[in-house]
């Protein structure tokens, strides 16, 4: 957020994970106050990828995006997941953007919030490919002819790899 040391950088994409009540002593006690602090990372004419947000937090982020003339990608409207399976072996999900769907992604950590973070990482790679072609360095096409969205390194907390079987 506004107070993060990384906020001195001029990022290609600002990524906002789901906002909840954390660090209230620094960010405020209301969800809208926390969202305002987190949204302060949004740069003028930048790109913003946001994980799922509660309605009041999303409104604050959208207002900042409008003020900064940034481009938005929200979980649930710009991208989403489907076929979520969570087990002790990790999580599996399909990733969807508009009418495109990529199947059976796997992350080693179980949990719905992990799936959301992984989806935001995949969307970030997709966004980076638009203005600068960065996604080519992060993704490969599988030998089964699947789309080029198998991330090979850690992006945030999500290490995503495409798999054929749900285990």
Question: Which sign does the torsion angle of CA 51, 55, 61, 67 carry?
Answer: positive
Tell me the pLDDT band of 151, cut-offs 50, 70 and 90.
very low
Quick check: 61 pLDDT over 80? Answer: yes
Given a cut of 90, is residue 76 above it in pLDDT? yes
Q: What is the mean pLDDT of residues 24-39?
A: 75
| Eight-state DSSP code of residue 7 | G
pLDDT in tens, 97-149: 888 888 888 888 899 999 999 999 889 888 887 655 554 444 433 333 444 44
Q: Is the pLDDT of residue 47 over 90?
A: yes
Q: Given this model, what pLDDT does residue 112 score?
A: 92
β-strands 71-74, 150-151 pairing: unpaired
Using the predicted structure, report yes or no on whether residue 154 has a pLDDT greater than 50: no
Phi-psi domain of 45 (left: phi exceeds 0; alpha: psi -120 through 50; beta: other): left
pLDDT value at position 129? 72
> CA–CA separation, 149 vs 161, rounded Å?
9
For residue 156, pLDDT over 60 is answered with no
pLDDT of residue 125: 83
Rounded to an integer, the average pLDDT of 40-63 is: 94
pLDDT at 14 over 50: yes
Is residue 163 very low, low, confident or very high in pLDDT (cuts 50, 70, 90)?
very low
Average pLDDT rounded to a whole number, residues 155-167: 40
- Tell me the C-alpha distance between 147 and 143, whole Å: 10
Instruction: Give 138 or 85, the one with higher predicted confidence.
Output: 85
| E strand segments, the chain | 13-16, 47-50, 71-74, 80-87, 90-97, 100-107, 139-140, 150-151, 154-155, 158-162
Between residues 89 and 164, which one has the greater pLDDT?
A: 89
Closest CA to 35 of 62, 8, 69: 62
């Amino acid at each position: 957020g506004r107070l993060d040391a990384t906020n001195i950088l001029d990022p290609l994409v600002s990524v906002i994970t789901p906002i909840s009540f954390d660090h209230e002593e620094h960010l405020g006690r209301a969800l809208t106050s926390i969202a305002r602090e987190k949204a302060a990372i949004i740069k003028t004419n930048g790109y913003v990828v946001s994980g799922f947000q509660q309605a009041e937090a999303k409104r604050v982020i959208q207002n900042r995006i409008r003020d900064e003339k940034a481009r938005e990608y929200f979980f649930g409207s710009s991208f989403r997941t489907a076929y979520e399976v969570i087990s002790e072996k990790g999580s599996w999900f399909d990733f969807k953007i508009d009418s495109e769907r990529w199947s059976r992604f796997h992350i080693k950590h179980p949990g719905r919030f992990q799936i959301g973070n992984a989806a935001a990482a995949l969307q970030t790679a997709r966004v980076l490919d638009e203005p600068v072609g960065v996604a080519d360095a992060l993704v490969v096409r599988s030998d089964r002819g699947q789309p080029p969205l198998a991330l090979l390194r850690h992006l945030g907390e999500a290490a995503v790899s495409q798999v054929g079987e749900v285990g």
